[in-house]
Amino acid sequence: MENTTTFRLSILRNSTQPPSSYDSKEKQILYIFSIIIFSLTFLLGTSGNGLVIWITTLKMKKTVNVMWHLNLATSDFIFTLFLPFTIANTALNHHWPLGRYMCKLNTMLINLNLYASVLQLTVISIDRCISIVYPVWCRNHRTPRLASFVVLAIWILALVFSSPFFIFRDTHSFNTKKTYCIYKFDGDNLRSEVASSREMGLLVTRFIITFFIPFTIIVSCCIIIMFRIQRNNMAKTSKPFKIIVAVIISFFVCWFPYQVFALLAMSVKRTKDNCLKHVIAVGYPLARSLMYINSCINPILYVFVGQNFKEKFWRSIHSVFENAFVEEYTKSYCGVENVIVASSNV
C-alpha cells in the first residue's frame, strides 16, 4: 500500500519520480534524462518560437496564416519559457521551494499553453481544409479580423480548461522537510473516493480535449486535403503530402504515449501488478518528455517549411548583418572624414 501511494503521489505531482521501491540508480537515470530533455526543449523551444515571433511580428504582413503561426509560436514560447521551474523541481528531487501560489500558477500556465497549442494546431488544420474545399468563401470571409476573434476564443477556452489545474494544485509536505507541488482533489485526503473521481474526471477530460477530438479533426482534415489535392492535381510534387503526413505522425507520436500513461496511472491503485507499476513509472516520464518536445517541432512543421517564411528569415538575417557592417563602415568613414576636415582647418 505504501508503494502504491507513493507512486500515485508521483503521478499527482505530474513529475517523473518513480516509486521508492525502485532502484535508486534507475531513478537517477530518469532524473538525468528528464533534465536533459527539458533543458533541450527549453533552449530549442524558446529560440525557435522566439525567432518565429520576431519574424512574423516585424517582418511579415499580418495575414491569417501569419496570425495562426504567431499564436502557435506564442503559446509554445510561453510553455517552454516556464520549463526552468520544472527543471529546477526535478533537479531538487521534486522539492518545491517557491510557495503555494507559484505552485498553482506554474502548473496552470503550463497547461494553459498546452491547451492553447493543441487548439491552435486543430484550427490550423480546419483552416487549411476549408481553404481548399471552399476557396470562394475563403476569399470573401477569411480575414485577419476573423482570425483575431478565433485566436481570442482559443485562449478563452484554454483558460477555462486549464482552470482546474490552478484550483486543485497545491503544496504539501509528507512528514519531511521537503515540500511537494501536487494535486489535492479532496483537500488533504489524497486517497478518498472523491479525490479519485475528480482525478479520473480531469484526466479523461484532458484526454478528450487535448488528444481525441483534436487528433480526429486533424486526421480528417488531412485526409480531405490529400484527396482534394490529388483529385485536382493541385500539387506538382509530393511535398504537400509529406508535410501532411509529418503533421499527423508528430502529433500522434508526441501526444498519444503521454495520454495513455496518464490514464494507466489511475489503474495502479486497483492492481497489485508490480510489472505494470514499473512500466508506468518508467514510461510516464519518457512520454512526458516526448510531449514537451512537440513545442519544438511545431515551428519546423508549420512555419519553417513555408517558402514565404524562409525567404523572410534569410532576408532578415542578411539585413541584420548588412546593417551592422554598414553602420560600422559609416562610423569609421565619418571619423576619418572629420579628422581630415579638422586638419585642413588648422
Sequential DSSP letters for 225-260: HHHHHHHHT--SSSHHHHHHHHHHHHHHHHHHHHHH
Residue 327 has what pLDDT?
45
The mean pLDDT of 227-251, rounded to a whole number, is 68
Mean pLDDT of 78-84: 88
To the nearest whole number, what is the mean pLDDT of the chain? 76
Dist. CA 42–CA 33, nearest whole Å: 14
Q: What percent of the chain has pLDDT over 90?
A: 8
* pLDDT greater than 90 at residue 287: no
C-alpha 27/C-alpha 281 separation (Å) is 9
Q: Of residues 311 and 161, which shows the higher confidence score?
A: 161
**CA distances from residue 89 to 83, 172, 179, 185 in whole angstroms, order as listed:** 10, 14, 10, 21
Q: Which of 166-170, 195-199, 205-209, 311-315 has the lowest mean pLDDT?
A: 311-315
| pLDDT of residue 73 exceeding 80 | yes
- Phi, psi for residue 82 in degrees, rounded to 5: -95, 0
CA 273 to mean position of chain CA atoms: 33
Q: Which residues pair with 170 in a beta bridge?
A: 182
CA proximity to 285, closest of 72, 90, 136 = 90
Contact 183, 168 (CB under 8 A): yes
pTM for the model stands at 0.76
Give CA separation, 269 vs 75, 196, 288, in Å.
35, 10, 21
Residue 66 has pLDDT above 60, yes or no: yes
Residue 6 CA: distances (Å) to CA of 3, 110, 264, 281: 5, 24, 16, 11
User: Taking 60 as the threshold, does the pLDDT of residue 4 lie above it?
Assistant: no
Instruction: Tell me if 154 sits within 8 A of 116, measured CB to CB.
Output: yes
Helices (H), 82-192: 83-91, 99-133, 135-141, 144-168
Say whether 272 sits in a helix, a strand or coil: coil
pLDDT at residue 236 tops 60: no
CB burial string 292-320: b at 16+ within 10 A, e below: bbbbbbbbebbbeeeeebeebbeebeeee
235 confidence band (pLDDT: 50, 70, 90): low
> What CA–CA distance (Å, rounded) separates 190 from 11?
12
| Residue 338 and residue 332 in contact, taking contact as beta carbons nearer than 8 Å | no
Distance CA 95, CA 176 (A): 10
Question: Model confidence over 312-338: pLDDT tens digits?
Answer: 656 665 565 455 444 444 444 444 444
Find, among 28, 8, 29, 30, the residue nearest to 19 by Cα: 8
Least confident of 29-33, 121-125, 342-346: 342-346
Tell me the residue type at 11.
I
Lowest mean pLDDT among 142-146, 222-226, 252-256, 275-279: 275-279
CB atoms within 10 A of CB 327: 10
